[in-house]
Amino acid sequence: MDKTQFPFAAIVGQEKMKKALLLNLINPRIGGLLIKGEKGTAKSTIVRAAAQLLPELNVIELPLGATEDKVVGTLDIEQAIKKGEKKFEAGILAKADNNILYVDEVNLLEDHIVDILLDVAAMGVNTVEREGISYSHPSRFILIGTMNPEEGDLRPQLLDRFGLTLDVIGESDVESRIEIMKRRLAFEADPEQLINDYAEEQNKLTRIILKAREKLADITCPENLYELIAKLSVNVGVDGHRADIIILKTAITLACYYQKNEVSDSDIYEAAELVLPHRLHRLPFDEKELSADKLREMIYNINNTLALN
């Protein structure tokens, strides 16, 4: 992968998106991130820039129109029959193992490729079967998808597989927009210089990720916060238990990111804002999202209820 990319630390604004990516780098078990937004909001730039923070991490792109063989890999049947040897040619899912699997315009993926992604994301293993011969390999990746909602919706089955989701819009602050232009032109004129200018901040972010990873196994979560998560999921009406588990994982990761020793209710709120909106039931033609203010109100009310018990 070309490591001469626009540096993550030089990106102006989009703080929520940047933090959501950092959380996935700290704890890939969160389950990835879906970024929804209009064109020109630096979605792809930020995803590719995030990989620069960990030297061993690469962005493996799954292009639209990729064939099944290109995605899952191929088996040489003739070699297997004649010599009894399994000759496997790695596909995208093999290359994505322990990396970021990036799908731009993920909502436009063909259905059968979506089905493959669902299976592998759930199992962490890719299995290729041809003519009664099978080959399996690990495929655990951070699934990052970007999409423009104006171009169509994402299948509910795949939508639920993304641990976190958020909507992004262009910066409305004039000074921020000016700074975006300046940094972009500076990068185009002399990429190495801009990379050097932000090297210290990049290294600081890398240290934050590595330090947070070290704390993951030691973070505690008070019992009352388990109840808060459960009541929150029940009150918003999500299906199943995946939301509860991902809120907990994300809250633990946030506590690590903030270098705390235990999860607090503020971590639960911040996690829920990323985990719940894409899991809510909507009536036809109802495009309303769960607003941050509404979510904060719900958590406040649940906290009061718990305090009274």
Do 41 and 147 touch, CB atoms closer than 8 A? Answer: no
Question: Looking at this protein, which amino acid is placed at residue 9?
Answer: A
- Note if 242 is an active site residue: yes
Task: Give the burial class of 62: count Cβ atoms within 10 A of its Cβ; 0-12 exposed, 13-18 middle, 19 or more buried.
Answer: buried
Nearest Cα to Cα of residue 43 among 26, 67, 54, 59: 59
Nearest Cα to Cα of residue 100 among 154, 49, 64: 49
Question: Looking at this protein, which amino acid is placed at residue 225?
Answer: L
Interacting residues of 176 by C-beta distance below 8 A, sequence separation 6+: 12, 13
DSSP for 87-117, written as a single string: -EE--HHHHTTTSEEEEETGGGS-HHHHHHH
Q: Of these residues, 140, 177, 184, 242, which one is catalytic?
A: 242
Question: Looking at this protein, which amino acid is placed at residue 46?
Answer: I
Do 12 and 19 touch, CB atoms closer than 8 A? Answer: no
- Whole-number Å distance between alpha carbons of 297 and 220: 25
Structure token pair of residue 20: 């959501």
| Local structure of 284: helix, strand or coil | coil
Phi, psi of 133 (to 5 degrees): -110, 135
Interacting residues of 110 by C-beta distance below 8 A, sequence separation 6+: 65
- Whole-number Å distance between alpha carbons of 176 and 240: 41
The residues assigned a catalytic role are: 242
